[in-house]
Structure 1
Amino acid sequence: MEVANNGVFSGIGGAPAALSGLNAPLERLAFGSCNHQARDQPLCDPQLWIWMGDAIYGDYKALNELQTYLPPFPVFRDAPPDMLISKYTMQLEHPDYALFRQRVPIIGVWDDHDYGRNDGDKTYAYRAQSQEIFLDFLAEPIESTRRQQEGVYAAYTFGAGAQSVKVILLDVRYNKDPYGMINGDFLGDTQWAWLEQELRSSTAAFNLLVSGVQVLPADRFFGGENWHRFPKQRQRLLDLILTSNARGVLLMSGDVHFAELNQVACNDYKNILTEVTSSGMTHSWDKTSPWQSIMAMLFRSANAVLPWDYRPHHGAYYGLRNFGEIQFDWHAAPQPIAQIKIRGEDGSVKLAYNLSSHYLDQDAIEHPSERCAAIHESNVAITMVRRLFMLGVVGLLLGGVLGALAATAALIYLVFKRSFFYMMRQQRTLFDDGYTKFD
């Protein structure tokens, strides 16, 4: 029998809904990432919720330290265990989440900020303690294998037979190598062996593969986190998916603070792999405050100018607060359909895509991922021109910001200067008026 274990959070947030209640086929699940524990949270009412990373922001910005403003500009600081506990407690006590957690079963995996280190990897000093704290936050059963292994990866199957869904949660932090290593890895040998077994043995109609960071896009030239930072590992993952004979594979990810659909075409378009990203539950790129409006303008400019070859169409993104949803149509013919949707904070659908429960073409995968490419391929010269143009836009925006700051500083200086000399003249006048000359 499953026994939930709140551990250090015992008694906080009420009793969580049990996974054991999900015996019938899944009709509707929801997912999201990048959730700040102190902000309003757009939550829905699915049968199951999946955290895809950054359920809280455990690390912190050291804006009052000189080191932050010196190369390499380390804005974030690692979270010690007591800070993680404090911030998870805040999330569990959040009025919206407390009620949500009591009625909706929750599973999930972490990314960097709930792990405790921005862009975190296996060098994080508190990773073992962080694992226990995270599993306590999820009320992971006492006997769970997740409490015995190195990392929080896990797999769950809901439903049975032709109406089953397998959710595979990847841990891309605990055993991740630091960036910059030529043969760096995200998962580690043990997790790779486990993943291969989970995919090759799966009989589920749909296999949902969850990664904290994006898998498919290889065109992000601005240095963000994604699997392409370790190209050989990305190729290894795509190889495994293509040769596993798993049905209805959908990649799911978070991290980037906007929602997006991405695809690769493999083996001359005989196999298409799809990834849905939902990120920015409580904060996103497309903002309206004075400072954030500058970042929003950059975000919009980038989406207008750059090619985004991995998107099924150029507009397959959404920049405001969002969460994801999958509805399963088990009676669709000839195969069940997963209706993938991105919803805004008002609940309206912003992006949609249908994925059928089909097998990949096994005859086309003699050399699997070597023949995977972006769903659209732009001309190299055109792509370079677009990127240079985008750099020009960034330069103009930054130049405008710096110019505005300089003008503001000059105005303040002039006002101060005039005020200072005005006060000096006034004081001189008062002195002269009150001065009496004696012979």
Structure 2
Amino acid sequence: MLSFITPLVLLITLVLTISHTQAQTAEPTTIAFGACAHQDRPQPIWDAIVAKRPDLFIFTGDNIYGDTTNMSVMQTKYNKLAAKPGYQKLVKSTPILAVYDDHDYGQNDGGKDYPEREASAKMCLDFFDVPQDDPRRTHPGIYGSSILGEADQRIQIILLDTRYFRDDLDRNTLTDQEKKDVGKVGWYQPTTDTSRTLLGEPQWAWLKTQLQKPAEVRIIVSSIQTISWEKGMECWGNMPHQRTRLFELIADTKAQGVVLISGDVHFAEISKTDEGPYPLYDITSSGLAQKPHPSWPKAINQYRIPGCLYVGENFGLITIDWATKTLCLQACDVQGQPQFTQNVAISALKVK
């Protein structure tokens, strides 16, 4: 595997630089993110991402398509990503944080029963140069958090592990025609078994602690969509009690400034719900080098903000304007052109 120390050094340096510079000038902070970077496909999108000069890039999963229990095969696929010239430019210029989704975890739609979950978690942390003394290495799974900035410009990045602890999902029994009639495209349905977990109790306890930390903006990274649930694809809504628990935890901890990001579905959209203590937004960006089945973007999503849908290869961009206290949420195409934009006042993301 190609090893990169540069992202760690850059992350430490840029955290300090961002903190100092923003305190002096209130310059915007830019965070790019994306998912679904198939290692065997061309990846021209990295040039557009690097050109945005983001302060951080977040992988939200399917960073490679491993789909194996053979860790040598998995390693070879990570090496293919590492060898991409565009990705190498990103590594040299931009700090990187990452979570896995199912394909880079090792099993399509996989959960806690994937037999190589420990090895997969370690390989993910190793590839993205997570330090040996990092808290993410002290517990099962890969969840963790980082703080960028200080004073009144703190950005908390919360990285969730939606695979390592996840219980089985319920499959729907709809025919293709029945799915088409109701706007579904996937294989799953919400469970009524409230004993099932998505995150596992240790991760839930950790998340509560994280949400109690001071921050002006919090980006919660989930590999799967959090708000939209009707498609029949993987999402938090397949365990409705877990989705509700997340929204209630945000309210109970009075965590301000929460924005959700996700990947997985091979297209970009923004979903919004009023089920939380304030309007919650989930900006989905996918894929970096994957395209959807033609039916997937047509699936029902009552939460989608009108106009916030893009089907081409894309990356997400969150720009935090500290002068105006505004978040700008965008999906950008391979040329770096925004395909939709949603502005959100930070003041609107507070528990009343």
Task: With the length of structure 2 as denominator, give the TM-score of the two structures.
Answer: 0.84
Is the aligned partner of 1:283 residue 2:290? yes
- Local SS of the residue matching 1:136: helix
Which amino acid is 1:86 matched to?
Answer: T
Contact 1:14 1:98 in 2 (8 A): no
**Which residue of 60, 66, 88 corresponds with 1:58?**
66
User: 1:299, CA displacement in angstroms?
Assistant: 4.5
Is the aligned partner of 1:112 residue 2:112? no
The one-character-per-residue Cα deviations of 1:391-424 (angstroms, maximum 9, x if unpaired) are xxxxxxxxxxxxxxxxxxxxxxxxxxxxxxxxxx
**Which residue of 239, 247, 251 corresponds with 1:238?**
247
Mapped to 2, the partners of 1:29 and 1:109 lie a distance apart of 15
Is the aligned partner of 1:49 residue 2:39? no
**Which residue of 173, 177, 189 corresponds with 2:201?**
189
Is the aligned partner of 1:321 residue 2:313? yes
Contact 1:245 1:360 in 2 (8 A): no
**Which residue of 313, 331, 341 corresponds with 1:342?**
331
User: 1:355, CA displacement in angstroms?
Assistant: 2.1
The one-character-per-residue Cα deviations of 1:24-80 (angstroms, maximum 9, x if unpaired) are 146211000011112222121212110000110001xxxxxxxxxxxxxxxxxx332
Contact 2:247 2:275 in 1 (8 A): no
Which amino acid is 2:36 matched to?
Answer: C
Which amino acid is 1:187 matched to?
Answer: L
Contact 1:33 1:279 in 2 (8 A): yes
Mapped to 1, the partners of 2:13 and 2:279 lie a distance apart of 34
How many pairs were matched up?
A: 312
Mapped to 2, the partners of 1:33 and 1:178 lie a distance apart of 23
Mapped to 1, the partners of 2:255 and 2:343 lie a distance apart of 18
Mapped to 2, the partners of 1:29 and 1:151 lie a distance apart of 24
Higher normalized contact order (CA 8 Å, seq sep 6+, divided by chain length) = 2
User: Mapping of 1:140-219 within 5 angstroms?
Assistant: 140-180=130-170, 182=193, 183-201=195-213, 203-219=214-230
Is the aligned partner of 1:353 residue 2:342? yes
Give the equivalent residue in structure 2 for 1:391.
Answer: none
Which amino acid is 1:348 matched to?
Answer: Q
User: 1:243, CA displacement in angstroms?
Assistant: 2.5
- Local SS of the residue matching 2:260: strand
Give the equivalent residue in structure 2 for 1:36.
Answer: 38
Contact 1:243 1:362 in 2 (8 A): no
Mapped to 1, the partners of 2:337 and 2:135 lie a distance apart of 38
Unaligned runs of 5+ in 1: 1-8, 60-77, 286-294, 364-439
Mapped to 2, the partners of 1:52 and 1:208 lie a distance apart of 12
Cα pair distance change 1:214/1:242, threshold 3 Å: same
Mapped to 1, the partners of 2:348 and 2:304 lie a distance apart of 22
Contact 1:161 1:205 in 2 (8 A): no
% identical aligned pairs: 35
Cα pair distance change 1:194/1:299, threshold 3 Å: closer
Contact 1:248 1:355 in 2 (8 A): no
Mapped to 2, the partners of 1:360 and 1:14 lie a distance apart of 36
User: 1:356, CA displacement in angstroms?
Assistant: 2.1
Which amino acid is 2:271 matched to?
Answer: N
Task: With the length of structure 1 as denominator, give the TM-score of the two structures.
Answer: 0.68
Mapped to 2, the partners of 1:265 and 1:353 lie a distance apart of 16
**Which residue of 310, 321, 339 corresponds with 2:303?**
310
**Which residue of 270, 282, 287 corresponds with 1:261?**
270
Which amino acid is 1:228 matched to?
Answer: G
Mapped to 2, the partners of 1:362 and 1:340 lie a distance apart of 21
Greater per-residue helix proportion:
1
Which amino acid is 1:200 matched to?
Answer: Q
Cα pair distance change 1:362/1:342, threshold 3 Å: closer
The one-character-per-residue Cα deviations of 1:322-344 (angstroms, maximum 9, x if unpaired) are 00111111111xxx111111101
Mapped to 1, the partners of 2:5 and 2:157 lie a distance apart of 23
The one-character-per-residue Cα deviations of 1:117-152 (angstroms, maximum 9, x if unpaired) are 110101010011111111111011011121221010
- Local SS of the residue matching 1:194: helix
Cα pair distance change 1:359/1:312, threshold 3 Å: closer
Unaligned runs of 5+ in 2: 20-27, 171-190
Contact 2:3 2:129 in 1 (8 A): no
User: Mapping of 1:79-98 within 5 angstroms?
Assistant: 79-98=69-88
Mapped to 1, the partners of 2:229 and 2:65 lie a distance apart of 26
Q: Larger deviation: 205-214 or 34-43?
A: 34-43
**Which residue of 243, 252, 259 corresponds with 1:250?**
259
Mapped to 2, the partners of 1:166 and 1:207 lie a distance apart of 5
The list of structure 1 runs, each at least 4 consecutive aligned residues, that deviate by more than 6 angstroms after superposition, is none
Cα pair distance change 1:340/1:359, threshold 3 Å: closer
Q: CA RMSD in A?
A: 1.8
Larger radius of gyration: 1
Cα pair distance change 1:266/1:361, threshold 3 Å: farther
Mapped to 2, the partners of 1:14 and 1:234 lie a distance apart of 36
**Which residue of 83, 89, 96 corresponds with 1:99?**
89
